[in-house]
Amino acid sequence: MSSSGALIYIGAPFFIQKKHFHSILTGLDSFMIHHANNPRWMDWTWQHAHSCKDVATLREWLASTGTEFHIPGHQFNEITSSYRMGITPYYFGLIKQYDNTDPIYRQIVPSPDELKILPEELEDPIGDENPARGSRPLKALIHRYTNRVLLIPTAQCAVYCRFCFRKRLVGDTAHNAREEDLQKAYEYILSHPEIEEVILTGGDPLTLGDQALRNILKALDNIPHLRIIRIHTRLPVVNPFRLTPGLGNIITSIQKPVWISAHFNHVAEITETAHQHILGWVSMGIPFLNQSVLLKGVNDSVEALKELFISLIEMKVKPYYLHQADMVQGTSHLRVPQQHGLELLRKLQGELPGYALPHYVLDNSDGSGKIPLQNQWVTTI
């Protein structure tokens, strides 16, 4: 076999083609990371530990690509004082154009536009903690819908997306759940037999270690009336090495069905590495969904969305939701008008099979839940 077609072993049942492995590292050859020659590049904990978290590191990473970072240090600190930055080396390696025209760069590199906060933008844009609804009875639990709850074991993420609707919470260790917080959440779920599904969210649950996740999943598995467990995570996108066979075995050891909901926003994120790691878990019987956010300059075209959704289907991931971007403070430069979103979905309906079309939804700011926006253009023939 030629060197370009050779396979690199990354832990059964995962292999990636050498040509694809090197392609995702393009631009990092002169960088501080020894990429292909670094024995820990494919170690998810190494990726997590070596993420870019400050302006000095960002300048160094960009300088290695021949690019300057033009935001002054004091302005960068002002932007990140309210919402920190985090970029894994792997995800940085997906950037092709080192400015805001690149769909990866635009999602994770802080921008001066974030300092512009509109009157209608909210600190809690989907009403997670609306006092009138009482939807957050515990530190680690949100109960917005009668038959399902959100469990938040950690506020930490692998990357900090600039459009995040929980930017007021994520990255702050004060919001991490302690063991006593988790125990109270389990007791709450046990005492509410109407709860059929628990959704692990955060932060990102997959930033936790295997043992912590095993403990959480086992505790939920022991609740008789619980029927489904879902894990919302960005790691298949920004650090797919986390999808190890070991963690896959933990998930498949649970008696209740466990669904993974990933968060791909652009086809550039669907690398051979991500593809093979997801297929590895799918082959173990772990089902995948995907939730995307409609973002200006990232995926707000028929071509971008069509390629994203078809590529998701190719790796056996069901496009589930396309979210209208929430009214998060400092994100007006990333929001797409709803009317444009509706027009995109109208055109996509004729371009894609039904199973490749996600629900286009908006989260209500009062905490009452999601509104299916595409219902506005369904007409009787």
Catalytic residue set = 144-145, 148, 157, 161, 164, 166, 326, 363, 370
Q: How many whole angstroms separate alpha carbon 43 and alpha carbon 102? A: 26
How many other CB atoms are there within 10 angstroms of residue 172's CB atom? 12
Q: 354, exposed or middle or buried, with CB in 10 Å at 0-12, 13-18, 19+?
A: exposed
Provide DSSP, 156-224: --SS--TT-TTTTTTT-GGGSPPHHHHHHHHHHHHT-TT--EEEE-SS-GGGS-HHHHHHHHHHHHT-T
Amino acid at residue number 42:
M
Do 301 and 89 touch, CB atoms closer than 8 A? Answer: no
Amino acid at residue number 269:
E
Q: How many whole angstroms separate alpha carbon 107 and alpha carbon 95? A: 10
Check residue 144 and report its DSSP letter.
E
Check residue 116 and report its DSSP letter.
-
| Local structure of 5: helix, strand or coil | helix
